[in-house]
Structure 1
Amino acid sequence: MTRLLEQAFETVSNLPDTEQDELARIMLQLAGVDQPPLQLTPEEDADLAEADAEIARGELATPEEVRAMWAKHGL
């Protein structure tokens, strides 16, 4: 194992379990190991359904709102 990979594992090991699992799935996927689809919680499923309904109603962010959101996060 390379030093960089060891450093990555050490850093990730200090993150919350959910973030560790997400990063592990990404690593496995990048290594060519197929990953099962994620199962949404009932709350996530409801949020997604509401987002789909908003899109269907045409309730989309304006370009200015999107730029403001990116700027707020320094991107």
Structure 2
Amino acid sequence: MNSTLRKLLPAIEAWPDEDQEALAEAAREIEAVRTGVYILSPAEEAAVAEGLKQADEGLFVDDGRIRALWKSAGL
């Protein structure tokens, strides 16, 4: 670890959780570029688990709502 990061660690420990999570997200993205593997955050893991649960229950968004979403995004 370089000296700049080593010096920042004590300050980072005092940051609010929101700021620490933003830094963790940046680190996950850098690691994904380096390794080709993206590690989900706990919030992302929970969202994936919820999506899989809904899919298992047959809960899907209808095509009309998807078309409207794409249209609202200009796609």
Q: Specify the TM-score bucket, using the shorter chain as the normaliser.
A: 0.5 to 0.7
- 1:50 maps to 50
TM-score of the two chains, using structure 1 as the length reference: 0.53
Q: Could you say which structure has the greater relative contact order, defined with CA pairs below 8 angstroms and 6 or more residues apart? A: 2
Amino acid across the alignment from 1:69: L
Partner of 2:69: 69
Q: What is the RMSD of the two structures over their aligned residues, measured on CA atoms?
A: 2.4
TM-score (norm 2): 0.53
Unaligned runs of 5+ in 2: 1-24
Count of residue correspondences: 48
Identity between Structure 1 and Structure 2 (%): 26
Query: What amino acid is the match of 2:68?
Result: A
Mapping for residues 1-75 of structure 1, pairs under 5 Å: 18=26, 21=29, 25=33, 35-75=35-75
Specify every segment of 5 or more residues in structure 1 that has no aligned partner in the other structure, as ranges. Answer: 1-16, 29-34
